[in-house]
Amino acid sequence: MAQVGQMNQLKVVKEVEFGLYLDGGELGEILLPKRYVPANAKVGQNLEVFIHLDSQDRLVATTDRPLAEIGEVAYLTVTDVNRTGAFMDWGMPKDLLVPYAEQRVPMEKGKSYCVYLYIDKSGRIAASSKLSLHLKETNDTFKSGQPVKLMVVSRSKMGYTALINGTHLGLIHNSDILQPLRMGQKMQGYIKGIRPDHKINLTLQKRGQEAQDELGQMILAVLEANNGVSELTDKSSPEEIFKRYRVSKASYKKALGRLYKAKKILINPDDIRLAK
């Protein structure tokens, strides 16, 4: 059965002057307007199409791909605000509605927000910036140290909320933020831990023994590539350290300490050197 708000593989069942009709199963035959019909498309062929509602709320297909589908979160821009709510550009002819009741903060024309796409009670495709109403905030499968895909979706006094693997929400605390973040930004992250209330803490840095070993190898590689000398010491600024190694100053100092104890480097006031 065809799914509204998603990409579908549908069979062409009829060709007419103004397009093709596709088999939508229980949804009935769905029109693919002529302007979207691929060259050489014919009856019996399967086409990948997106099902949505046109300006008259009729089901219609398109071969264009929207910026997001039902059940996904996307960073979209508001094109208009009226009595009904805010309207966002999601790559379709008809803009996406965010009702006032689904706005975490009042939306403004020209600004962008992270929103979740869903089907409302009337069967229309809509969006919500109240992500916690639609996504899980508590852990059911994640493990500490697990690598995950993150998307920054909002900010609070405690830090940044991020979407985890497209299904859950977690928090990157201010103390774990070493670089500027922006809304909609996607990146690699890690599960830092699970709080007593089962909510998820996140970090952008790999943790534990493996991370320290990798950092140590990176430091040695930099030294070897620079005649055995680096001016980046344990006294260097956090910004300089992060720019080079993408880690905190604390992690860098720990790695230097481990290399020094292993007699692989010498730590001087103004530089570090490979031990001979």
42 and 89 part of one domain: no
By the 8 A CB rule, do 5 and 51 touch?
yes
67 in any annotated domain: no
Where among 17, 39, 62 does a domain terminate?
62
End-to-end CA distance of the chain: 70
Residues 13-36: tens digit of each pLDDT = 999 999 999 999 999 999 999 999
Where among 155, 174, 203 does a domain terminate?
203
Which residues are 81's β-sheet partners?
86
Q: 248 versus 203: which is more confidently predicted?
A: 203
88 in any annotated domain: yes
pTM (whole model) above 0.85:
no
163 and 199 part of one domain: yes
By the 8 A CB rule, do 233 and 266 touch?
no
Domain count, the chain: 4
Where among 81, 109, 133 does a domain terminate?
133
CATH code (residue 257) = 1.10.10.10
**What is the per-residue pLDDT for 244?**
82
Q: Is residue 169 packed enough to be buried (19+ CB in 10 Å), middle (13-18) or exposed (0-12)?
A: buried
By the 8 A CB rule, do 13 and 29 touch?
yes
1 in any annotated domain: no
The residue-averaged pLDDT of 199-207 equals 86
139 in any annotated domain: no
How is the beta sheet containing 229-230 ordered, strand by strand?
229-230, 272-274, 265-267
The residue-averaged pLDDT of 250-274 equals 86
By the 8 A CB rule, do 184 and 114 touch?
yes
220, pLDDT greater than 90: no
Band the pLDDT of 211: cuts 50, 70, 90.
low
249 in any annotated domain: yes
Residues 54-111: tens digit of each pLDDT = 888 889 999 999 999 999 999 999 999 999 999 999 999 889 999 999 999 999 999 9
83 in any annotated domain: yes
Distance separating alpha carbons of residues 64 and 43, to the nearest angstrom: 20
120 and 79 part of one domain: yes
Q: What is the mean pLDDT of the chain?
A: 91
CATH code (residue 97) = 2.40.50.140
The residue-averaged pLDDT of 161-181 equals 90
The residue-averaged pLDDT of 172-195 equals 89
248 is in which domain, residue-wise? 208-274
**What is the per-residue pLDDT for 151?**
97
Name the residue among 15, 10, 58 with its Cα closest to residue 34.
15
68 in any annotated domain: no
Strand pairing report for 159-164 and 147-155: antiparallel
Name the residue among 64, 66, 59 with its Cα closest to residue 21.
59
